[in-house]
Amino acid sequence: MKCPKCHSKMEQKKDTYYCIHCGYTPSGYYIQKGLTEAKKTKLEQCFQTHFHKILYNSNFYIPLIFGPYYLGYCQLFLLGLILSGIELAIFFCCATYISFQTALLLIILIHAFYSIYANQICVSVWKKRLEKKPDRKFSPSIVYPFLIIFILSLIILLIFYLYMKNIIPHT
């Protein structure tokens, strides 16, 4: 059983459950006596209010809609840029050689995988970041997804320009 307040595991003593972390009981009272409050982990200190949302994947629809741009929102700029470039290349190749409907279906499937695994990727990357520099703070920003879109659009325009100038050969 999990605590509805802090989502920690609740212990059972006789016929009553109580949370070890915050002292919550199902009757609404809090245990104060003998409670040793667990210290927050580095990951909890880093994510602060976003911890439960990311750890328990309660924001399932946001990565489904935005895909790799959500990783940019979570301060994983380079990973979001690489994955969005790969997604764009898959879409164009599939739309060109197979069909547009298949390409859309493939992108929807890829975004479904993002909605399942994006938060797990964020947690694992942030754990590694905190091992190197423990005082980092997680502060999501909308600037990074726009930077990813801007850089990808510049790359596409550059490829189109090189294609029109016959620097990239075509038949």
**Helical H segments across 36-142, by residue range:** 42-47, 51-55, 61-66, 68-73, 77-97, 100-132
Q: What is the pLDDT of residue 28?
A: 56
Model pLDDT for residues 21-38, shown as the tens digit of each residue: 666 676 655 555 444 445
State the Cα–Cα distance between residues 84 and 69, nearest whole angstrom: 7
Q: How would residue 109 be classed by pLDDT, with cut points 50, 70 and 90?
A: very high
